[in-house]
Amino acid sequence: QSVLTQPPSVSGAPGQRVTISCTGSRSNIGADYGLQWYQHLPGTAPKLLIYGDKYRPSGVPERFSGSKSGTSASLAITGLQAEDEADYYCQSYDNSLVGSVFGGGTKLTVL
Amino acid sequence: QLQLQESGPGLVKPSETLSLTCTVSGGSISSSPYYWGWIRQPPGKGLEWIGSIYDSGSTQYNPSLKSRVTISIDTSKNQFSLKLNSVTAADTAVYYCAKYYDSVKSGFDYWGQGTLVTVSS
């Protein structure tokens, strides 16, 4: 079981908006460490999409946005495109485990 | 542009030691402060943090792997390494090396392409 909980899968039609949730606890998300989101395509390196809860690295489209409240966080993708079909992971730091923790991953299917 | 590349045996026998090296190019591995990590993904499963090395060689390890893991750094070769001993089939995974964008309490902005390590006799 992962320390951070994500839904196994989400789906949406092209052009729609989807959200992926990430639920943690007071020792990670709730401890106000930065929350990251990664996009992972099979056979490639994970790509940093969101860092520090809501910031996009250079080159990441504005269609991707992050938010956090309490012990939960969300990744929103608007204007869904076929190329967005991938696995998405949230990641934070946990002061109880003293290390980084990942969510179990969410598979996004573009219908 | 910073680049990371994992290297090492793709096949390791059960009970033996898995050894991987991450070579960093396009920048100095010892640019202070530095924060580097290893992550793995077993087949069909999610990402799992293995451990980190930072500052003057300080380390943090996943509690579930701590008794078997050693991460070290060789600044003269611009490399850092992972050793995982007493491996079993459960250690079969794609192993990634990565760089933290800030402290070890942050996330990873640069990743290697990953290398598949299979544990089998």
pLDDT digits (tens, 9 = 90+) for B11-28: 999 999 999 999 999 988
Assess whether pLDDT exceeds 80 at residue B32: no
pLDDT class for B34, splitting at 50, 70, 90? Answer: confident
Record: contact B47-A99, CB cut-off 8 A = no
- Nearest by CB to residue A45, choosing from B51, B106, B112, is B112
Q: Is B94 on the interface with A (CB under 8 A)?
A: no
Record: contact A48-B107, CB cut-off 8 A = yes
Contacts of A104 in chain B (CB under 8 A): 46
- Nearest by CB to residue B46, choosing from A97, A100, A102, is A102
The DSSP symbol for A41 reads -
**Peptide bond just before B9 cis, omega within 30 deg:** no
Q: Is B59 on the interface with A (CB under 8 A)?
A: no
Instruction: For residues B72-78, give the mean pLDDT.
Output: 93
Record: contact A100-B37, CB cut-off 8 A = yes
Residues A7-31 have pLDDT tens digits of 999 999 999 999 999 999 999 999 9
Q: What is the structure's pLDDT at A73?
A: 98
Distance (Å, rounded) from C-alpha A66 to C-alpha A77?
Answer: 9
Interface probe for A, chosen from B105, B110, B113 (most Cβ of A below 10 Å), is: B105
Contacts of A102 in chain B (CB under 8 A): 39, 46-49
- Report, in this order, helix, strand and coil percent for chain A, each rounded to 5: 5, 50, 45
Residues 6+ away with beta carbon under 8 Å from B106: A33, A34, A36, A51, A52, A93, B35, B100
The nearest alpha carbon in chain A to B42 belongs to: A104
What is the Cα A109 distance to its own chain's centre? 15
